[in-house]
Structure 1
């Protein structure tokens, strides 16, 4: 996670110091204030990403600080800390806009999780704000700030204004149609974006669907019909799962691309079309060509620019953003308050392999919203494959080849640490030094892995 500026507000010096050490260990930049008035002055002078404040303080307490921030229009997430006996005050703080509360006394792990969750929610809000600006320039809503997604955004920006055909490759559920729509909307083309799923339409009907037909062309053709290619004239046609298109239709599509015109089924005249084609498949593209599922000459016409959409497990840093985005979306649709991710839920989400990618994550978050009856998503509201411990280890776990004592001793602590160190080294070796991949193999967060590497002095 990128370092964020966090302001700690508490009149107890010792508590501020403890929180500061923990948050700095997480990689954040920390400022301190002894009461609400000092905090308000600091926020007015410098930008802050998160405020962590006690409720009971002299001069200006936490409630008054919240009210003052809102009055001045300072849009910063606030987490309040409160003693067990004053939960009602915490509820009042939430009504004033606090994003979360922590009951004292607390474990530092609780604070770290609350901070991570609040910053993830803030990132979603900022991302949505960014997307609203992008939509005005022709973008659709993407959620993700990982390096993989930044590369994808940049490629879309480069490809969109050109007339070049593009081929989108990615697993099911990664959002290939979203990428295609973004290319069209940022292209400046005035025509329609017309999607067609080549695998969802029977082969005998697909030709008419693509090119249209004239009355009487076949049984049931009671009137002339415009095809999708003609409808997309001046715009973009998106051919999803194009490797499922029959070979004879691939030949006709190639001719359309070469000549810039289409011929309706049963007609003798050609109709000129200004067409941009964006294609997609979830299959290995080279294998599809070699097996004959996609004609080689058509492949060269379509694959001017190849765009690979990353799997969800390759953009682990976006999981919190996406999960909170979908919680907000489906809670709004159901007319409910948006629940937050409970303890250990995000850890399980980040450890999961996500075979169904973003689509699977959205379905799981929708299910969680439907089942949630409180303010927090719990492990019990996740499917069994996520709720159980170490959900991804059955298929990709790291095992040791030698279970004998490491150094000959029976010191339990030493043996556990030695085994743990061996597992970490094995995971790093298997993942070619990729720490995100190694963390997934081990079923831990990247932060936990970094801590272990430092503790065991493992060179990475």
Structure 2
């Protein structure tokens, strides 16, 4: 059974006390569990399980006809995948230990507090879903490509790293748990979120919100809505985006910029699915799946105290780290051709052919703006193109405008990029020149025009140096 369906299976309450069944059923329904079944005769449980699936069973220990302990042993033997929570009025450690050894997932003491009952059932549901996800993940990761490649048609790639992400997405798509997508700006985080939503098969839409720059009031009003008269100008009630998402996916981009006050509200939503519209005194329930994205180092933000640790660990139940374009250079030709065709189509002109030398130029560029930067380059080049072959000039100008970036993301000039890379014994100028030329030719895959551009000299100047080198080595 798909993981998403496991989270929607009914909760079965079994107890010979009719009043307890009624009150516990109301508590669970008000907490967001839409389907709650009740039985006051333990002998009917196995018959029910044989005819319909159940998510979690809450079982009284002491009942007439068939005791809870005997029924627990039969359930765990025939339906080991169903978590069973035991309830009893007997405060006895030995009894609790025996129940847990017999396969119970939890043990509650009567009279059970409402919050304890809800928390125990929620833990059991989440545990069952996570176990199913783990088995699905093992199956998916043993293959080399996604099972449903059509769901990722919007993402242009031939990168093994991206295919691994696709397989992971398929494994977690049906989970109701939140997903954290991290990666540099322009790497395609929203595309990944949309692919995740498509793979989930959720009945609602994907609703995307960029939360960067939203203060707490605007964040609350945008997501949760407000009650009539809650503030000046609130002449009527307004549903927020969370309500309109329904059972779909709510995608919150730039989550690293969220204020601490808003983080608290998001944490409450993730913990129990509840939220308060502004001005409302009663919570509402949501069944939307939450997916968030950020370019920030959230772990570092946690260490600095600007991001809540409990929210961070709640969000990263499932985590997708998207690689930057410089770590998937094998995608450069395919992406470039895709963007050139896309640009030509949007401009209403024939797509120019792309010279192979362009790929060699792009291969030696770090792309600090990632895929978004490559797309901008392609659109500019196509817009300026006057012939049947795409000119390299606009690409060269765009690359020349960008200084090198070091591993820490700091901008460097050419000399700074070289500093610290010299051996203890300095090479001669002739040796350094030969080494630079050899490296440039290797990066340009033997194309002298591209190699000359990397060295900042003309092709003729490079050719003279190569002729001189060959003559000296003759």
Normalised to the residue count of structure 2, the TM-score between the two structures is 0.56
Q: How many Å separate the matches in 2 of 1:415 and 1:298? A: 52
Residue 273, structure 1, aligned to residue 270, structure 2? no
Residues 396 and 311 from structure 1, CA distance in 2 versus in 1: closer, same or farther, beyond 3 angstroms? farther
Indicate conservation of the 8 Å contact 2:152/2:166, yes or no: no
Residues 248 and 150 from structure 1, CA distance in 2 versus in 1: closer, same or farther, beyond 3 angstroms? same
Indicate conservation of the 8 Å contact 1:327/1:365, yes or no: yes
Cross-structure match for 1:147: 160
Q: How many Å separate the matches in 2 of 1:403 and 1:378? A: 40
Residues 225 and 147 from structure 1, CA distance in 2 versus in 1: closer, same or farther, beyond 3 angstroms? same
Cross-structure match for 2:341: 328
Q: How many Å separate the matches in 1 of 2:402 and 2:214? A: 42
Q: Deviations over 1:206-262 (max 9, x none)?
A: 110011101211122222111122222211111111121111111111112222222
RMSD: 3.2
Cross-structure match for 2:303: 290
Q: Deviations over 1:255-292 (max 9, x none)?
A: 12222222211112222211211111101121011122
Cross-structure match for 2:259: 246
Q: How many Å separate the matches in 1 of 2:219 and 2:402? A: 47
Cross-structure match for 2:269: 256
Q: How many Å separate the matches in 1 of 2:212 and 2:153? A: 25
Q: Deviations over 1:344-381 (max 9, x none)?
A: 32211111110100001001100011000111122222
- Aligned 1:103-122 pairs, distance under 5 A: none
Q: Secondary structure at the match of 1:223?
A: coil
- Aligned 1:46-125 pairs, distance under 5 A: none
Alpha-carbon offset, residue 389 of structure 1: 12
Alpha-carbon offset, residue 204 of structure 1: 3.1
Indicate conservation of the 8 Å contact 1:144/1:322, yes or no: yes
Q: How many Å separate the matches in 1 of 2:436 and 2:370? A: 32
Cross-structure match for 1:318: 331
Cross-structure match for 1:338: 351
Q: How many Å separate the matches in 1 of 2:323 and 2:182? A: 9
Residues 221 and 164 from structure 1, CA distance in 2 versus in 1: closer, same or farther, beyond 3 angstroms? same
Residues 267 and 420 from structure 1, CA distance in 2 versus in 1: closer, same or farther, beyond 3 angstroms? same
Cross-structure match for 1:201: 214
Q: Deviations over 1:410-458 (max 9, x none)?
A: xx7x88656767x69xx9xxxxxxxxxxxx9x969xxxxxxxxxxxxxx
Q: Deviations over 1:312-354 (max 9, x none)?
A: 0111110111111000011011111111223532211111110
Q: Which has the larger radius of gyration?
A: 2
Residues 140 and 249 from structure 1, CA distance in 2 versus in 1: closer, same or farther, beyond 3 angstroms? farther
Indicate conservation of the 8 Å contact 2:377/2:398, yes or no: no
Residues 390 and 177 from structure 1, CA distance in 2 versus in 1: closer, same or farther, beyond 3 angstroms? closer
Q: How many Å separate the matches in 2 of 1:228 and 1:379? A: 45
Indicate conservation of the 8 Å contact 1:372/1:381, yes or no: no
Cross-structure match for 2:241: 228
Structure 1: runs of 5+ lacking an equivalent = 1-129, 407-411, 428-439, 445-460
Cross-structure match for 2:189: 176
Residues 330 and 346 from structure 1, CA distance in 2 versus in 1: closer, same or farther, beyond 3 angstroms? same
Normalised to the residue count of structure 1, the TM-score between the two structures is 0.57
Aligned residue pairs total 291
- Aligned 1:21-60 pairs, distance under 5 A: none
Indicate conservation of the 8 Å contact 2:212/2:257, yes or no: yes
Alpha-carbon offset, residue 180 of structure 1: 0.8
